[in-house]
Structure 1
Amino acid sequence: MDRYERINALHRLLKAARYPVTVARLQDELGCSRATVYRDLAFLRDGLMAPVVGDGEAGFKYDANEDDRFELPGLWLNSEELHALLAAQQLLARSGGGLLSTALAPLQSRVEKLLEEQAGGKQWPVERVRVIASRPRRLDEHVFRVVASAVLGRRKLAFDYRARSTDEKTRRTVSPQRITHYRDNWYVDAWDEDREGLRSFAVDRIGAAKMLDGAARDIEDAQLDEHLASSYGIFSGPPKNWATIVFSPKAARWVADERWHSQQQGRFLPDGRYELKLPYSNSRELLMDILHYGSDAEIIEPPVLREQARSLLALAISNYER
């Protein structure tokens, strides 16, 4: 029984006791030494301000006049929960390149203090928790906070947006629906008021964000999923086609365990290769992920996607023929 469990068990014993509980019984109930019982009683009384009365001869109980008003304060964690919190704390501290460092500083400090208190002065080997971000893009913390506030506060949002493909800058007014963390980067799904349609915007391409007074238009979840989550990757739109990709036996060991899409269909072929089928709207991201596997992946269908892959590979080869 760890300290968290002992303190909770001790609290329950004393709260339920009509008469003082002897130290011997507490030792038996808590499964610990006499010295540990006294340390836990002292912490309960002095650290948590519990109304503990009694002594080592007669036993201990809660003061009847204060019993009903006392409960264990704050957040208590057992060892497994503490370890999970430690991992989450490191994820918060090390991922995102400092994103929300100002806004989350109080939470970060509280987590660190909680870990220190619960560890009883023990130094946790935080270097054992390793977090590696995969190519996150630079993000303006203020912009992110405005966007997130508009999403959660259900307010309209205005911002400048610079398209990555054309570098064209436009002013947008939207009703934000959801904020999405995808491949270590943030996107906001929104109803574009001027274009009267659903769009996804990369938050790192947003500037001069301003939350407006008007209430955001709410779109049904089913409609959002149909338009924004029915096709492969972050690109929006209903599926225009299904891709069939066959992976080599070596790559199959990885791909068979991966979730590329909620509607994907996969099966092992008799020769050990793995066939994956999934819907897509925009081929750009899908091609990028397929080509990541190099010669271990082959597009079977549709022919247009196969030809696009062949053209991209030919262009890549041409870079090495000079």
Structure 2
Amino acid sequence: MKPVKKAVNPAGISEKVIRLLEIYTLIAQNKFPSLALLMERFHVSKRTIFRYLELINIIDPIEYEKEKDGYKFTAGDRIKKPALNNEELQAILAAGESVSHLGSVFKEDFLKIVMRTFALRDIQNDKHPIVVKAPDAVFSIKIESILKILLACIQEKRAVEIIYNARHSKELTKRIIDPYVVVLYEGIWILVGYCHLRKTIRSFALDRIMEIKERNLYFNAQPDFDLKAYLSTPWGIVDGKEARIKVRFKKEISDYILRKDKWHSSEKRTVLPNGDVELSFTVAGVDEIKRWIYSWLPHAEVINPRWFRKQIKKELSASISSHS
């Protein structure tokens, strides 16, 4: 029989030092290790454990906590948390502002992580120098449940089965979806994935998912799928028929229009001699860009395509009639 080789400790560190470090870490993590636990863990006598504890007590005073039946540091938490300088603190506060729009669950988890990681007493105050103005995410117990399932299945590359209530057709359909990513767009959670019913990549608003089930169907993403390209094609990410839209903005608001280099990745712009600005976009569906155009009324005019111009005219006429 070959002799069993003894495990070699890293860098020649003795067994005693390793045990001392492990015990120190357990106490520092507020695990309140008991004599019985340490004896069983290291297969040593009570006397040996007492010697280890005496050595740790010389470094950092410890005491026995009767209620926990274990040991703790007399001075409290010994895990040193990194302190933040002013710039780093502002970055944390800005991130917290952004996360707060995702919903209370995400905000609470973010705060727990930050408080556990850094030496901060409290970052929940109303005097943040940075405020992120963004739509709050549509959130509910149902959406939280759907998100948990989707995030798990995305990570494990497993399909989901959903009952979906389409917004335009109002039709309920059962679909198998390979979930790729969840996107938060204008406060709405949207699933992007491969739809086995339509045999293509589609987007699904989480608040219109009536039912969802995990499936043990594993998938690989479509090899030609480019998320960045997919998100840049439509105005937002809601599916629809592709259209080339041209909009003219009056010179009175040209400074607002020109303050951004681009409003969309497909944008082409022309500044006219009279000061008006024309922007052209390629969008997938007009519902989202229509809302954006309406936000600039009465200083915006749809030039092309003609069918879209007529649609805008019809809707505005109906609105005028309602307000008469």
TM-score for both structures, normalised by structure 1: 0.66
Q: Which residue of 1 aligns with 2:236?
A: 233
Partner of 1:233, secondary structure, is coil
Select which of 148, 156, 176 maps to 1:173: 176
Matched, 1:82 2:82: no
Letter in 1 for 2:93: L
1:47-81 Cα distance to aligned partner (Å, 9 max, x none): xxxx9xxxxxxxxxxxxxxxxxxxx9765543211
Retained in 2: the 8 A contact 1:86–1:126? no
Mapping for residues 43-58 of structure 1, pairs under 5 Å: none
Partner of 1:270, secondary structure, is coil
Letter in 1 for 2:86: S
Partner of 1:148, secondary structure, is helix
Equivalent residues, number: 243
Letter in 2 for 1:214: L
Letter in 1 for 2:278: E
Retained in 1: the 8 A contact 2:241–2:285? no
Partner of 2:237, secondary structure, is coil
Letter in 2 for 1:145: K
Retained in 2: the 8 A contact 1:243–1:278? yes
Q: Which residue of 2 aligns with 1:95?
A: 101
Matched, 1:150 2:120: no
CA deviation after TM superposition for structure 1 residue 230, in Å: 1.7
Partner of 1:307, secondary structure, is helix
Mapping for residues 156-235 of structure 1, pairs under 5 Å: 156-220=159-223, 222=225, 229-235=232-238
- Tell me, which stretches of 5 or more residues in structure 1 are unaligned? 1-50, 52-71
Instruction: Tell me the distance in 2 between the aligned counterparts of 1:114 and 1:177.
Output: 30
Letter in 2 for 1:96: L
Task: Say what the alpha-carbon RMSD is for the aligned residues.
Answer: 2.8
Instruction: Tell me the distance in 2 between the aligned counterparts of 1:220 and 1:249.
Output: 46
CA deviation after TM superposition for structure 1 residue 231, in Å: 2.8
Segments ≥4 residues shifted beyond 6 Å: none
1:77-131 Cα distance to aligned partner (Å, 9 max, x none): 4321121102212332x31342x34xx644422313555x25xx68785433444
Instruction: Tell me the distance in 1 between the aligned counterparts of 2:240 and 2:264.
Output: 14
Mapping for residues 210-289 of structure 1, pairs under 5 Å: 210-220=213-223, 222=225, 229-236=232-239, 239=242, 241-258=243-260, 259-289=262-292
Retained in 1: the 8 A contact 2:161–2:215? yes
Matched, 1:109 2:116: no
Retained in 1: the 8 A contact 2:81–2:117? no
Retained in 2: the 8 A contact 1:186–1:203? yes
CA deviation after TM superposition for structure 1 residue 296, in Å: 0.7
Larger radius of gyration: 2
Instruction: Tell me the distance in 2 between the aligned counterparts of 1:207 and 1:227.
Output: 25
CA deviation after TM superposition for structure 1 residue 175, in Å: 0.7
TM-score for both structures, normalised by structure 2: 0.66
CA deviation after TM superposition for structure 1 residue 298, in Å: 0.8
CA deviation after TM superposition for structure 1 residue 313, in Å: 0.6
